[in-house]
Structure 1
């Protein structure tokens, strides 16, 4: 089956995930801190180079995950390709990523913050740590105000700013959202959109997006196309 072209629409955030062929370390091995620090440095450099506004990010032993808005259709592919070249040259030889990176378009105003919560909660979901803020290599600590080492990488989305009128209020409200987690139905929709490489949003958003996206934004209906009964009757 031919693979789908990259899905892109102007000014729409994307959730992106690229998995490594071989993890930097097993979850229960010592954390590869130096390698994760290097990955962060490369990510910050390439995000600046390709002008991708990064709203959320996560580096784990086995993957790179991003939530960001690219300036054009080529920016995110170039960013991931650049990271792959840097990793191959400076960290490990041979193939870096297990397959093409996955991506999904995310509706602002409705799904952006839940998707950010989903991304930053992965270290808990995957049993690295017991709280999202406890994993240093993600945007969770910045968004909750517990650690500001990596602030320079982030460009907060307006949806995050809507959580409060002051930095303290936003951080406190977002910390509550992280602690509460997501309903399983929301997590499933986010995960399905990412792994299917579709758009995630409500019907009105999806209807508008169909005219602006670079390809089909949702799976085609199963089964054969329905016949036009009026036309058939006229034959």
Structure 2
């Protein structure tokens, strides 16, 4: 079965997920994490991709990105993979792949950016309501406890208040409140489908722009396919 084509749109936020091969670790120590963030900053600048949020787990990475061109994220992730894996393998005396195939991604509607960012900084990082204390996510930057030159706050963050104090307080309140179960499920469904995180009106507007469906396909065979298989095989 052919792999679904990933959808990248310039100027739109994208949630990107990359996992370790066979669920293995992609970071063995903090030097690995620092190396990854260093190379991420380099390739993001070179590829003209804004990094809005990130979280480094033991066996996966979550990123919230906005590219300026349609191929920017693919080029960025390829360059990041080559540079980081070369350093990782050299440091740890290993060879071969580190990633579980290609990275996954989905579009994020403007109205869902803060939910996706909270998911990355709370759920994906494993930090929960203590997200701001993690040195390996962008939460501390958004809460004002650490300046992170890697992070370019999305305009949804700027809309939280007129001053840094107002924005940081509003975002802290969102993190402390947590994400409703339905919101988490919607994000995880978008991760599986590779399509769009957004409400129905956002989906329909983007479908009109792209002239294609962004609705997740039902799992399993299409209706009638089982009966057709029985007829073709001559069974009753």
TM-score range, shorter chain: 0.7 to 0.9
Q: Deviation at 1:211?
A: 3.5
The residue number in structure 2 matching 1:111 is: 112
Post-superposition Cα deviations, 1:169-212, rounded to whole Å, max 9, x if no partner, equal 10111011111110000001001101221111122211121133
2:144 alignment counterpart: 145
Q: Deviations over 1:119-141 (max 9, x none)?
A: 000256x4x67611121011100
Give the drift of 1:86: 1.1
Cα RMSD (Å): 2.0
Pick the aligned partner of 2:88 from 71, 87, 91: 91
Q: Deviations over 1:43-69 (max 9, x none)?
A: 011111101011111122211211111
Q: 1:87 touches 1:96 (CA, 8 Å); kept in 2? A: no
Encode CA deviations 1:83-104: one digit per residue, 9 max, x unaligned. Answer: 1101221112211211221111
Count the aligned residue pairs. Answer: 215
Query: Residues 3 and 76 of structure 1: is their aligned pair in 2 closer, same or farther, counting only changes over 3 Å?
Result: same
Query: Displacement of 1:214 after TM fit?
Result: 8.6
Q: TM-score if structure 1 supplies the norm length?
A: 0.85
Higher helix share: 2
Instruction: Tell me if 1:164 matches 2:161.
Output: yes
SS in 2 for 1:16: strand
Q: Which residue of 1 aligns with 2:202?
A: 205
Counterpart of 2:14?
14
For the Cα contact (< 8 Å) 1:104–1:198, is it kept in 2? Answer: yes
Runs of 4+ in 1 over 6 A off after TM superposition: none
CA shift for structure 1 position 217: 2.0
Structure 2: any 5+ residue segments left out of the alignment? 90-94, 225-236
TM-score normalised by the chain length of structure 2: 0.84
1:190–1:123 CA distance, 2 compared to 1 (3 A): closer
Distance 1:133-1:194 versus aligned 2 partners, 3 A rule: same
Query: In the alignment, is the contact (CA less than 8 A) between 1:17 and 1:102 conserved in 2?
Result: yes
Q: Give the 5 Å matches for 1:62-101.
A: 62-92=59-89, 93-101=95-103
Deviation at 1:221, TM superposition (A): 5.1
Distance, in Å, in 2 between the alignment partners of 1:189 and 1:2 is 25
Distance 2:9 2:163 in 1: 31
Higher relative contact order (CA 8 A, sep 6+): 1
For the residue of structure 1 that corresponds to 2:208, the secondary structure is coil
Distance 1:186 1:123, change over 3 A: closer
Report the Cα offset of residue 9 of structure 1: 2.6
1:6 touches 1:214 (CA, 8 Å); kept in 2?
Answer: no
